[in-house]
Amino acid sequence: MKKIVVLGAGYAGLQTVHRLQKLVRGKAQITLVDKNDYHYEATELHEVASGTQPALKITYPLADVLDPAVTTFVQAEVVKVDQAKKQVELRDRAALAYDYCVLALGFVSETFGIKGAKENALEMTNIKQALAIYDHIMEAMRKYKKTKDKKYLQLIVCGAGFTGIELAGALAEGRATYAKEAGVAPKEVKITVIEAATRLLPMFSEKLATYGVKLVESLDVTLLCGAKIMEVAPEKVIYEKDGQNESLNAATIIWTTGVSGSPVVNASNLKERRGRVVVTKHLTDPDDDELYLLGDVAAVMDETTERPYPTTAQIATQMANYAAKDLAERINTGHHLARPFTYHSKGTVASVGNTHGFGVVGKTEIKGYPASFVKKMIMNKSLYEIGGVKELLAKGRFDLYH
Ligand SMILES: Cc1cc2nc3c(=O)[nH]c(=O)nc-3n(C[C@H](O)[C@H](O)[C@H](O)COP(=O)(O)OP(=O)(O)OC[C@H]3O[C@@H](n4cnc5c(N)ncnc54)[C@H](O)[C@@H]3O)c2cc1C
């Protein structure tokens, strides 16, 4: 029996296991490792951070998906992959030996070395952090009630990429709840997004990006573009705009300027850049054919643009489907699949609040309510692929707007 160790139960890791369980039954043993005994939908973290969705709606127990006859689950923190010894080092546990390893440990926040960002801004890369953001906002509102200091009503989002825009929309939707806690009118709660670029959302046409910006602004969110963040001090963001240093005070500062791949990639001495490895056409490490890298730790080159595809849940899931088939092929025949991995985008859609959005599906630009609907359908598809109808029903996902 071959030993397959899958690291990470996010989109890439869990989908790999879900597929593999059926393909290698009786021929391989699978071990899945994650820090948590649940899967969370990272694409919805902004909803938990803003309090517009409970954490339970975007998480489900791994036990619901795993087949104990084929897969063993180990709850532990991965420290490093030792390729020479073909084993995975875990914190406070014995190492795990493997024949094939699938590294799918996702993303962490990238501060680009900006002073004070790590210490003074809140990150939003997992459920615990998202819940901590919501608690922090509500605590700030209670502090306002006691002190009447306006900084407690200020929320700053650093970075107006996809995540920052989605978060700003969700915070706008949560505004009435925050205001109630502070005992003020909703318009007193101020939401500002600070962004260095002047042309936002470059993945969309200028017309569609402008629509998205207007949509966010219509929710009374201030978008401060062309403002380069120089430092995050305690409860203060210092930025440069038009050659001048300026600053904004806020008790809540959330960091969404970008992500890099898991630090385990660097700790494992792989040839990486920002925690990502440019993988082979079979999604393996160029220096180690027994190590697959999937999801946000991998860079897959788009041959038309000669740049890596953006890291998304969509590409992570497609990589997982391919890797599971490729692994099964190797176990059955000793060879890789003849066809290389290719990515087919179903569309890129940003949600703004619960009922609006904008994006592109195929060559068609979509806006407003239809975009929000499409986004929910794309995300439901991944939940369906991994969890099946049971999870969709359990999460109330057929009732899309509650
Ligand atoms: C707010 C937000 C909105 C987004 N919206 C979209 C969208 O609309 N569409 C889209 O396609 N993508 C979107 N993304 C991007 C998408 O979420 C990621 O690309 C995707 O989650 C990557 O999947 P993954 O499997 O590589 O990693 P993840 O889903 O992050 O899973 C990684 C797993 O590894 C575990 N783990 C991490 N480190 C360790 C360790 N050391 N030891 C043990 N376990 C560990 C984690 O617990 C987790 O279960 C969004 C991201 C964010 C933050």
Would you list the domain boundaries of the chain? 2-109+259-345, 117-255, 347-402
Which of the 8 DSSP states describes residue 273? B
Task: Report the first-to-last Cα separation within the chain, whole angstroms.
Answer: 46
pLDDT, one tens digit for every residue, the chain (402 residues): 999 999 999 999 999 999 999 999 999 999 999 999 999 999 999 999 999 999 999 999 999 889 999 999 999 999 999 999 999 999 999 999 999 999 999 999 999 999 999 999 999 999 999 999 999 999 999 999 999 999 999 999 999 998 999 999 999 999 999 999 999 999 999 999 999 998 888 888 889 989 988 999 999 999 999 999 999 999 999 999 999 999 999 999 999 999 999 999 999 999 999 999 999 999 999 999 999 999 999 999 998 888 899 999 999 999 999 999 999 999 999 999 999 999 988 888 888 887 788 888 877 888 877 777 777 766 666 666 766 656 655 665 655 454
23 vs 331: CA distance, rounded Å: 10
339-342-345 Cα angle (round to 5): 155
Q: Could you tell me the distance, in angstroms and rounded to a whole number, from the CA of residue 333 to the centre of ligand 1?
A: 32
124 vs 274: CA distance, rounded Å: 18
β-pair partners for 74: 33
Q: Could you tell me the distance, in angstroms and rounded to a whole number, from the CA of residue 93 to the centre of ligand 1?
A: 24
CB of residue 96 inside a 6 A radius of ligand 1: no
Using left for φ > 0, alpha for ψ between -120 and 50, and beta otherwise, residue 56 falls in alpha
Identify how many contiguous H helices and E strands the chain contains and give both numbers.
9, 28
Amino acid at 284: T
Tell me what pLDDT residue 89 has: 98
Q: Could you tell me the distance, in angstroms and rounded to a whole number, from the CA of residue 45 to the centre of ligand 1?
A: 10
Q: Do domains 2-109+259-345 and 117-255 have the same CATH topology?
A: yes
Question: Ligand 1 atom closest to Cα of 9?
Answer: 49
β-pair partners for 73: 32
The answer to whether the CB of 58 falls within 8 A of the CB of 391 is no
Tell me what pLDDT residue 366 has: 84
382 Cβ neighbours under 8 A, 6+ residues apart: 11, 15, 41, 313, 314, 317
Per-residue buried b or exposed e for 111-128, using 16+ beta carbons within 10 Å of the residue's own CB: beebebbeebbbbbbbbe
Structure-block tokens of residue 87? 């084993």
Structure-block tokens of residue 15? 């989908």
Q: What is the C-alpha radius of gyration for the chain, rounded to an integer number of angstroms?
A: 22
CATH of domain 2-109+259-345: 3.50.50.100
Q: Could you tell me the distance, in angstroms and rounded to a whole number, from the CA of residue 366 to the centre of ligand 1?
A: 25
Residues making up the chain, counted from first to last = 402
Q: Could you tell me the distance, in angstroms and rounded to a whole number, from the CA of residue 124 to the centre of ligand 1?
A: 11
User: Is 166 annotated as catalytic?
Assistant: yes
**Looking up tokens 């207007």, which residue turns up?**
214
Q: Which is the catalytic residue, given 166, 173, 195, 272?
A: 166
CB of residue 11 inside a 6 A radius of ligand 1: yes
Ligand 1 pocket mutation pick from 65, 89, 162 by most atoms within 8 angstroms of CB = 162
Q: Within 13 Å of residue 174, how many CA atoms lie on the same side as its CB? A: 27
Question: Ligand 1 atom closest to Cα of 167?
Answer: 1
CATH of domain 117-255: 3.50.50.60
From atom 20 of ligand 1, which residue's Cα is the shortest distance away?
Answer: 313
Question: Ligand 1 atom closest to Cα of 351?
Answer: 8
Strands (E), 300-355: 301-302, 307-308, 348-352
Ligand 1 pocket mutation pick from 19, 297, 312 by most atoms within 8 angstroms of CB = 312
6 vs 104: CA distance, rounded Å: 7
CB of residue 259 inside a 6 A radius of ligand 1: no
From atom 27 of ligand 1, which residue's Cα is the shortest distance away?
Answer: 106
CB of residue 163 inside a 6 A radius of ligand 1: yes
H-run or E-run covering 89: strand 87-90
237 vs 224: CA distance, rounded Å: 12
Tell me what pLDDT residue 248 has: 97
Which of the 8 DSSP states describes residue 311? P
Question: Ligand 1 atom closest to Cα of 313?
Answer: 11
